[in-house]
Chains A and B, each alone.
Chain A
Amino acid sequence: MSGPRGGARTAPLPLLLPAVAGLAFLLLPLIALLVRTPWSTLPDQLTSTEVWQALRLSLLCATSATVLSLVVGVPLAWLLARTDFPGRGLVRALVTLPLVLPPVVGGVALLLAFGRNGVVGQWLDAWFGITIPFTTTGVVLAETFVAMPFLVISVEGTLRAADPRYEEAAATLGASRFTAFRRVTLPLIAPGVAAGAVLAWARALGEFGATITFAGNFPGRTQTMPLAVYLALQNDPAAAIALSLVLLAVSIAVLAGLRDRWMTAS
């Protein structure tokens, strides 16, 4: 948060009160988590290798899913924002589908597509001997599936707000559409891309339903933090709280770091 600028004008109450209420609503569960954290046994909980394994895997997979989302999601957003093709409205709606789909259903859908007997998966298996379920790749795919819409929507919005005439200016200077995108559009929408990437990363980091359904749960290979938390919750709530705390602390540290560095760059 930046400090107040100039003569600090007080916020009007009709805005201030709901704002404070909203903030409180978001923060109270976190505070409750902190209050109920078994601080005395926390060090023991956190020294188990499984925790660090799960955390490492979570960070690795969330970051991979974000990179994958960027590689295909930014061009997709560009297509939606800058070109006109029949059924574009429908395509945009379909892109946002994973947002409303229960993640577990998303996981089942992924199995039906990329599973060993899936529509695509059976060929991957038959031709290349690749099976995706129960692998770390599966975790990355599941996380990408649920996280990419956040990126696409964010980038598309930024693209729509960006002046398309910069691309025209680049074209008159001899830039192909791709060069114009790479050298002009992308730098211009960088803040939006960064915001979308952070959103996607955060969503991927917390992903549970699609991951456990599609990739299963195996420590070190597909057991990410949310899975570890959920399973710990079954018989050791204290451990679950401790694990959640680690996940929270790491994500807050990363998000706060990124915000200062990137998102305020322009």
Chain B
Amino acid sequence: MTRSVRRTRRPRRTPTVAAAAVAALLALSACGSADSDAGGGGAAEKLSGTVTVFAAASLKESFTALGERFEQAHPGTRVTFSFGGSDTLAASITGGAPADVFAAASPKTMKTVTDAGGTDGAPATFARNRLEIATLPGNPHHVSALKDLTAPGLKVVLCDRTVPCGSAARTALDAAGVDLTPVSYEEDVKSALNKVVLKEADAAVVYRTDVRAAGDKVEGVDFPESARAVNDYPIALLKDAPNAAAAKAFIALVRSADGRRTLTGAGFVEP
């Protein structure tokens, strides 16, 4: 059996973060120097105004970085974000919220918007997220696989199956043939993770990106069944986008090599 315990504690992460920062700087300077170049290509569409992006909460760190880069590359633009649960965001979009771009944490959520005719064109998958087990720092209970979570006395939290991370965890657990009774079905991935951060739970099944974002407050444990429950993140231009031109450019940035670097830096997997 393959055991791949990957530690996400700071000493090992620092190079990654530094590399990402260097990459970001390089990308920035590249954008700066290539601005006239890019401008030559897109002179007809000088971008301006505000781009409003509704994005799943797990995208907060990477999209915020990308937004800043976008604003620097296109002076005069502003990117404003609304991060939240994908379902809540989808509900506001179908309810008429004036947004340009929607980036969801699951195709199912995106589908509620496309079904309502809310998108302009088909959504594209720009990132994937895998599950990981988040354990207490130092992995004191020596969790190395899903089946270890059924150890007596171990307090495990899962996401409720009504939210994406919960259904993904259920798929993975079924694939592993593990019958796990958690102490709680949390309402979203952040609160599941928080229970481990606060040491109220010993482990949680959450997304890799969340483990990454939590730094050294939790330790991530990879498990093979996570491949069976990979979560696709689709992004789409919205039909009633007030600033469609800039929105398209932002989506292009997210899907560019630069965007992918930022996303993988945050723990996402390339599609």
Contacts and interface: CB of A to CB of B under 8 A. Distances in A.
A185 interface: no
A122 to B, nearest CB: 10
Contacts of B85: 234
Given A134-B155, A234-B162, A234-B163, A217 B187 contact: yes
> Could you say which interface size class chain B belongs to?
20 to 34
A116 interface: yes
B87 A216 contact: no
B200 A234 contact: no
A96 to B, nearest CB: 26
B191 interface: yes
A36 to B, nearest CB: 14
Given A117-B199, A212-B191, A217 B186 contact: yes
B83 interface: no
Given A134-B183, A212-B187, A216-B186, A111 B200 contact: yes
A133 interface: yes
A115 B184 contact: no
A218 B198 contact: no
B157 interface: yes
Interface in B144-199: 155, 157, 160, 162-163, 182-187, 191, 194-195, 198-199
A157 B193 CA distance: 42
A234 B160 contact: yes
Given A216-B157, A218-B182, A235-B87, A115 B199 contact: yes
Q: Among A116, A218, A234, A235, which residue has the most Cβ atoms of chain B within 10 A?
A: A234
A218 B200 contact: no
Nearest to B108: A235
A230 interface: yes
Nearest to B162: A234
Interface in B6-45: none
B267 to A, nearest CB: 24
A218 B160 CA distance: 9
B184 A222 contact: yes
A63 interface: no
Nearest to B202: A116
B198 A112 contact: yes
A217 B195 CA distance: 12
A189 B85 CA distance: 46
A213 interface: yes
A230 B188 CA distance: 11
A134 B195 CA distance: 10
Contacts of A236: 162
A232 interface: yes
B162 A117 contact: no
B4 to A, nearest CB: 29
A231 interface: yes
Contacts of B191: 212-213
Interface of B: 85, 87, 155, 157, 160, 162-163, 182-187, 191, 194-195, 198-201
Given A216-B157, A230-B187, A234-B160, 17 more contacts: A108-B194, A116-B155, A117-B199, A134-B155, A212-B186, A216-B186, A217-B184, A217-B186, A217-B187, A218-B184, A219-B185, A231-B162, A232-B162, A233-B87, A234-B162, A235-B87, A235-B162
Q: Which 6 A-B pairs have the closest CB atoms?
A: A216-B184, A134-B183, A234-B162, A117-B199, A133-B200, A231-B162
